[in-house]
Amino acid sequence: MPLAYYITDRHSCPLPVLQQIEIAVAFSMDLIQIREKDLPTRPLMDLAVRAQMLARGTRTKILINDRLDIALSAGLAGVHLGNHSLPPAVLRAHTPQDFLIGVSTHSCEEFERAENEGANFVTLGPIFRTPSKAAYGAPVGLAVLREVCMRATIPVLALGGVDLNNYQSCLSAGAKGIAAIRLFQTSQGDLRGTLGRVQNCVVGP
C-alpha cells in the first residue's frame, strides 16, 4: 500500500493546523510532518505535544522539521531534515533505535548521500511544477524519480505538484508513496476520499 505523507503549512491550511492533523490521524495518514518553521520554540513544542497525543495508539507517525530537541522531548516518531541540515548519521548517536529520519532530496546525488548517511526514507522533488518551488528552477520530473527509485534501498516519496491527476504516474515510476501539503489540506470529506484513492492504489499487474 502506498504511503501518504502530510506536510503541514498553517498559513495555507483552511482549518487550524491541529484540527487538520486530527482529521489526518483519524483517517489513518501514515506520516505527518510538522513543518512550521516560523513558529517560536514554545508554541512549536506545544503543537508537537498535542499532535503526538492525537496520534498515540494509531498507525500515524508524527515527525517534525529539523528540530531534534522537540522531537525527543515530545516523544515524536522522528524528524525530517533538509539537504543543509546535519547528516542523519550525526543524529543517530542521540536517538532511539526506531527513530525515523527523513531527508529532502532534489537529485540523484542528494538521494545517494542521504541513503549512505543513514536516512530511513527520502522525499524527492519537486516532481511536477508547483508555485511554491517555482523560484528554485525546473521540476526534476518523472525520469529522475524513476532513476532514483531503481537505485533505492529505502522508500522514496514523490513530492511537489502531486495531485489526484498525476499521483499514479509517481507510483508507477517506483515511488513508495507521495508527500504533499495542498493535496492533504482539504476538508474532512475530501481528505477521506483522497486518502482512499492514494492508499488503495495498486500499481502494476
- 36 CB neighbour count, 10 Å cutoff: 19
Residue 103 is part of which domain span? 3-199
Q: Are 29 and 58 in contact (CB under 8 A)?
A: no
Domain assignment present for 145:
yes
List alpha helices for 32-101, DSSP H: 41-55, 68-74, 88-92
**Average pLDDT score, the chain:** 92
Q: What is the CATH number of the domain that holds 158?
A: 3.20.20.70
Q: Are 170 and 178 in contact (CB under 8 A)?
A: yes
d(CA 81, CA 115) in angstroms, rounded, equals 13
- Look up the pTM and report it: 0.94
What is the dihedral angle through the alpha carbons of 35, 38, 41, 46, rounded to the nearest 10 degrees?
-50
Q: Are 200 and 4 in contact (CB under 8 A)?
A: no
Domain assignment present for 59:
yes
pLDDT band, residue 205 (cuts 50/70/90): very low
Q: Chain centroid to CA 28: how far?
A: 14
Number of domains in the chain: 1
Residue labelled with grid coordinates 508537537: 48
pLDDT digits (tens, 9 = 90+) for 52-89: 999 999 999 999 999 999 999 999 999 999 978 999 99
Q: Chain centroid to CA 6: how far?
A: 6
Domain assignment present for 205:
no
pLDDT band, residue 190 (cuts 50/70/90): confident
Domain assignment present for 144:
yes
Q: Are 160 and 125 in contact (CB under 8 A)?
A: yes
